[in-house]
Structure formats: structure tokens, C-alpha cells
Amino acid sequence: MSMKQYRADFPIFAHRHYINSCSYGALARQVEAAYGDYLACRRTKGADWPGWCAIHEDVRARFARLVGADADEVAVTTSASAGMSSLASALDVSGPRPVIVTTDQAFPTEAQIWHALAPRGAQVRHVREQGGQLDLEHMRELVDERTVLVAVPLVCYRHGALNDIAAIAQIAHDAGALVLVDGFQGLGAVPFDVRETGVDFLAGGALKYLLGSAGIGYFYARKSLIEGLYPAQTGWFAQADIHAMNIHANEPSPTARRFEQGTPSVPALYAAQAGLDYVLDVGVDQIHTHVQALNRALKDGVRALGGTLASPEEDARHGPMVAIRSTDDHALVAALEKDNIITSCRDGNLRVSAHLYNDMSDIEALLAALHEHRGLLA
Ligand SMILES: Cc1ncc(COP(=O)(O)O)c(C=O)c1O
């Protein structure tokens, strides 16, 4: 199937140029049908816990397949924050390793969670950026034998820079620290393998490039680390035996399920299953190649208009989102929306985030509109 044919599965393109996957992926017919299946199940069966638990496990297996992990290394969470908070609750920051190294590229939640550990003794350090890229020399200075965790995004949500995760994992491991990656802005459109990169933890959610829904996230933990971590943020779905109903002890699962908490978001599981299915069927390598080609045309067009990229120029240095500097990013997003072009913004940048369903007509429409609104380009 050519990429062109996939577009027909996303009804929004009959009305609009949707180039906003960094905010929320477009809705596929298959995902819409999955929501319908959930409602049909509610209407006809009322409750189907065995069936829903099977979908839960299926979603876990698909997340695992996406990143080259084993299913028992993946927790199905309700958000990226939920997985990271569960890990935070298991970290020992009162001993010889109180330092958590985060970055100036962190999505708020992924810095706030570490700062929330300050009352328990944590000290949080931020790696700065240099020309839109993380300054790895600065990271080497900050990461030392007192560091418990290095937490970085795969792709920066503000300007799309893609980090060299294998190099960062090496810096962390050389100091005896663990490394966590926030994969939210990349997974589904950027190939990522937990073994090749050597990461210890990976967190994110299903609603952007994984085409699912809000309410479902993933949290990968390397197998050899799981049993040494004892999350205080827990619940019955994190227990070794969910059905034990034992209120006299906390007996966490020997698998990554120990990073889960309560009843999963069942409607969102249906959507996540269908979304993951779609992405895995198309293939992340193919999606990546397609999105890079669209982004090359976008970057050339922005340069020709005299605009300035906030993203790194080189294909290999940014993720699926390309950010463009604006004098008034909110006004630019609103003007584009009037032209039926859906984008988003952060931090003074217009964010354009293509996915498997976009084609050159979206990029051409955007560039034509940016020409009209060039007074808003910085
Ligand atoms: C990089 C990144 N991390 C995390 C989040 C959100 O995390 P959560 O699922 O906890 O809301 C986003 C959402 O926009 C994001 O872009």
C-alpha cells in the first residue's frame, strides 16, 4: 500500500490540512470503529473484564513490539506522568545518589516530577541547550557518582530537536546512573529500540504519533532493574496477583506491571490498540522516511520565504516536528486555522508536525499560507 492510500483512512483530510500530530494524532476510521466496539460492548454486555484485560495485555505487547522490548518490561499507564511518577516514588534520593539530571528541553511534567522529590532530598540539575541541541559536555559535567537518574526527551516538544539517546545513555551509565527517555514526541514516527539505545526507562503516551487516545501511556523498565524498584505510587493493578485482594501487604508484580496503579482507562485501551495496530502495520521506518521527505520540502520552503527554523536544520537532528520562529505564534496558528490548516505553537514557535497521513498538498497549502502571513514569521 502506498502512503497515499492511508490518507483516506483519516476523515479530517476531507475538510482540513491537519499537520498537528505533535499535539494529537488525527483520528483514523479504524480507531473511531474501536471506540464504537467499546460502546457496543457496553450496550450489549455491560461489562467484559476478561475481554478488556485481554486488550490491556494486547496493548502492552504492541508497545513492547514498537520499541524492541519484552512485554513484561512494559507497564500500560494512564499518562507519561503516571509512569514517571511511579518510578520517582521508587527512587532512593536520600542516600549517596540524590541527584537527578534533567534538561532545559524537558516537557514540564518531566522536570516537575523530579523537583517534587526535593523534600525527600533530591537535587535536580538541568542540562542546558547549545544552538537548540543538548550540550552533552555540560551533561558530562553534571552527571557524576552522586547521580541516580538522567532524564531526557527523545524529541524536544518546543522545537523538535532529536537527541542522541545512545550517547546520553553512555554518559549516564559511565557514572553509574540510570537513564529515562520521554518518547512522547517521537515514538510512532522515529524508529526507537530500547536495546540498541541502552535506555533503562522509557515513558510516553498513545495520543500523538501512536494514533490512539488520551488516557493511555507506556512505561518501559529494563528487566534487570524491575525487581530492585519498589514504587510507593501503586495500586491493585500493580500487584503480583491482581485478584489476590490482599489488604495486608503490598506484593508488587515481578514485571513492569508494578509501575501501574488502578483500573485502566478502558475506552482509551480500545483506541490505543487500534492506533498501535495501524502504526505497526504501516511500519515506523516507512513512516519516518515519508515524514522526513515532507519535512525537507517544508524546510526548503520556509527558507525560501525568508523564515527561520527553530528546529535543527539537518534531517537526522530533528524528530517529526519542524518548528518555525514567529513574531506572534498564537496569532499565526489562529490565522492558519482560518485557512483550514491546523498546527500548534510553543515558546514563540509554530510547530508543524507531519505524520503518515500527510502529503505534499498539506505542505504546499501551509507554505502558500505562510507566504500570505509572512509578517508573522520572525
Ligand atoms: C514530550 C512530552 N512529554 C509528556 C507529555 C504529556 O505527558 P502526560 O501523558 O503525562 O500528559 C507531552 C504532551 O504533550 C509531551 O509532549
Whose cell is 507519561? That residue is 80
The pLDDT tens digits of the residues spanning 251-264 come to 999 999 999 999 99
The pLDDT assigned to 3 comes to 87
The pLDDT assigned to 246 comes to 96
> Cell numbers at residue 132, please?
537548540
CATH 3.40.640.10 in the chain, residue ranges? 31-279
Distance of CA 243 to the CA centre of its chain: 31
CATH class given for the domain over 31-279:
alpha beta
> Cell numbers at residue 202, please?
522509557
- Shortest-distance Cα residue to atom 14 of ligand 1: 23
Q: Above 90 in pLDDT, residue 2? A: no
Average pLDDT, rounded, for the chain: 97
The pLDDT tens digits of the residues spanning 308-340 come to 999 999 999 999 999 999 999 999 999 999 999
Residue 195, amino acid: R
- Shortest-distance Cα residue to atom 7 of ligand 1: 80
The pLDDT tens digits of the residues spanning 76-122 come to 999 999 999 999 999 999 999 999 999 999 999 999 999 999 999 99
| Percent helix, strand and coil across the chain, each to the nearest 5 | 45, 20, 35
Do the beta carbons of residue 210 and residue 223 sit within 8 Å?
A: no
Q: Using the mean position of ligand 1's atoms as its centre, give its distance from the Cα of residue 46 in Å.
A: 32
Q: Using the mean position of ligand 1's atoms as its centre, give its distance from the Cα of residue 184 in Å.
A: 6
Mutating to test ligand 1, I would choose from 184, 192, 210, 345 the residue with most ligand atoms within 8 A of its C-beta, which is: 184
Q: Above 60 in pLDDT, residue 1? A: no
> Cell numbers at residue 376, please?
508573522
Q: Above 70 in pLDDT, residue 274? A: yes
Distance of CA 203 to the CA centre of its chain: 7
CATH topology assigned to domain 3-19+283-373:
Aspartate Aminotransferase, domain 1 (3.90.1150)
What average pLDDT score do residues 353-357 get? Answer: 98
Alpha helices in the chain (DSSP H): 3-6, 29-44, 49-67, 80-90, 108-115, 136-142, 165-174, 194-197, 223-226, 266-282, 284-304, 329-338, 360-372
The pLDDT tens digits of the residues spanning 20-71 come to 999 999 999 999 999 999 999 999 999 999 999 999 999 999 999 999 999 9
Q: Using the mean position of ligand 1's atoms as its centre, give its distance from the Cα of residue 183 in Å.
A: 9
Angle at 76 between CA 351 and CA 127, to 5 degrees: 50
The pLDDT assigned to 58 comes to 98
Which atom of ligand 1 is nearest to 82's Cα? Answer: 10
CATH 3.90.1150.10 in the chain, residue ranges? 3-19+283-373
Q: Using the mean position of ligand 1's atoms as its centre, give its distance from the Cα of residue 346 in Å.
A: 13
Residues with CB under 6 A from ligand 1: 79-81, 107, 109-110, 153, 157, 182, 184-185, 205, 217
- Secondary structure (3-state) at 312: coil
Q: Using the mean position of ligand 1's atoms as its centre, give its distance from the Cα of residue 178 in Å.
A: 21
The pLDDT tens digits of the residues spanning 65-81 come to 999 999 999 999 999 99
